[in-house]
Chains A and B, each alone.
Chain A
């Protein structure tokens, strides 16, 4: 808890001078009450939820919830969906190289940063794991495997086995790399450079799939498959081999067990979105510019100096979010349990030393330094293990941050998708022609969603996400801790949820 308090105090101290940069931010919305009051109201809702959960939710329920079979679709539908994914990927690469090199007029940047990064997870919240159906890497991997099997038959070597210790860490690193491209890479608005990166991405994953098998590789190393897969666990439906099952929202998240690396995927998603909010608005805009100017004095070009500052900021944001979650998770274990574990570890260590000291080094039948019979009794798990176990509870926070941050981008820039699909290369069209789909002349309507409506939707998303996180965390605590301790173990997580909520609202209020 002291660590949590220290972190949280540091956050506030860091936040204050940053806010001083927040000029010209008022007047966009016409809210009936000051925006900061929403943070207070959200905190009250979280507090009431926490108390209500402790009083009324006494048994783990989400893991036992049933699903209902809704409908089945023919298995061959996988093929057209896979082909659609491959076609979109091909178009993205082709348009990047052959199209006009203006980010808003070319299909590639919008396809990657709006369609894939924002559109797919938003849709997955409604229809289930959409990306699993249209994932072009999976489709190509499966097709290649099928063809290779037909050609080579039994001569095809068995795939290698991915080491268990890797968990889903490769996916977390991949997500961090994508976030870097989105937030710091100087060429992020250059379609041809993005196309090169997409080709590299396909090559890396193509080699990985050919060595380790399509499904093992995709399920653990494809950053989009892993993150969007977690997002889809919140959906009220689930697809499984052509059958659609209905369920209550969050049931899927509670039912899925995390492996090492899953928590990192979610923390990267939260941390990078936080940094996007901080650096994209006026809060830190001038500060990062000033820092980049200082860095440029070392001889680095202005462009890369800016990228360097943005990279450091992004890593700091991910580190801060990670530290906050680790501090909150550490608070789940009672001080008495920590003392007991430390005492037992110390006792076991002393006994091992004593054993080694008493025993001749060349004693028959036992190698020097081999494990002894003294084992510490099963105690509380490590904080890292707890973070992994409770990682699913962080998913709604990641989704809430994404919805809050990217809602307006999808609402407005998302309208450019049909227009760009009809004219992906951004070429000059003759007047009256609508391009491939007849939608090239469509324009973006900025008036269909008011600033107030966006704000209320953002607040609702943040609040829903954090309440869902409290519910998931509480339910998991009931599974993992004695009932007498479960609710108490979640107090630190309540503080974490309040910090995330208020920080999220603060970031959104300044955009």
Chain B
């Protein structure tokens, strides 16, 4: 009964959480599809395709 009595408040919070759930789910699903596709293509991006621009100048304070 306690839970039922507070459903009104729960409903409000779910409405705040809904955008997070929707955006999070869509992006997670998109990332998963890409991961699966990369795995199917061997997933190796090659020696000359760096993921990271290791520019030492950017390490400065």
Contacts and interface: CB of A to CB of B under 8 A. Distances in A.
A440 to B, nearest CB: 44
A8 B25 CA distance: 11
Contacts of A378: 50, 52, 54
A506 B24 contact: no
A399 to B, nearest CB: 21
A51 B54 CA distance: 26
Contacts of B18: 40
A353 B24 CA distance: 42
Contacts of B52: 337, 378-381, 480-481
A15 B45 CA distance: 40
Interface string B7-24: 001101111111111111
Contacts of A39: 15-16, 19
Nearest to B5: A20
A16 B17 CA distance: 9
B20 A491 contact: no
Interface string A482-511: 100100000110110011001101100100
B27 A495 contact: yes
Interface in A3-46: 4-5, 8, 11-12, 15-16, 18-22, 34, 36, 39-40, 42-43
Interface stretch (A90-98, A115-123, A327-335, A446-454): A327-335
Interface string B43-61: 1110101111111001111
A19 B53 contact: no
A339 interface: yes
Nearest to A386: B52
Interface in B28-54: 28, 30-32, 35, 38, 43-45, 47, 49-54
16 contacts: A1-B31, A4-B28, A5-B24, A11-B20, A36-B15, A335-B43, A336-B43, A337-B45, A377-B47, A378-B50, A389-B58, A479-B53, A481-B52, A491-B30, A494-B23, A498-B20
Interface of A: 1-2, 4-5, 8, 11-12, 15-16, 18-22, 34, 36, 39-40, 42-43, 47, 257, 259, 331, 333-337, 339-340, 377-381, 389, 479-482, 485, 491-492, 494-495, 498-499, 502-503, 505-506, 509
Given A20-B6, A479-B55, 15 more contacts: A1-B28, A12-B20, A22-B9, A22-B12, A36-B16, A43-B22, A43-B23, A259-B61, A331-B31, A336-B44, A380-B52, A481-B51, A482-B50, A498-B20, A509-B16
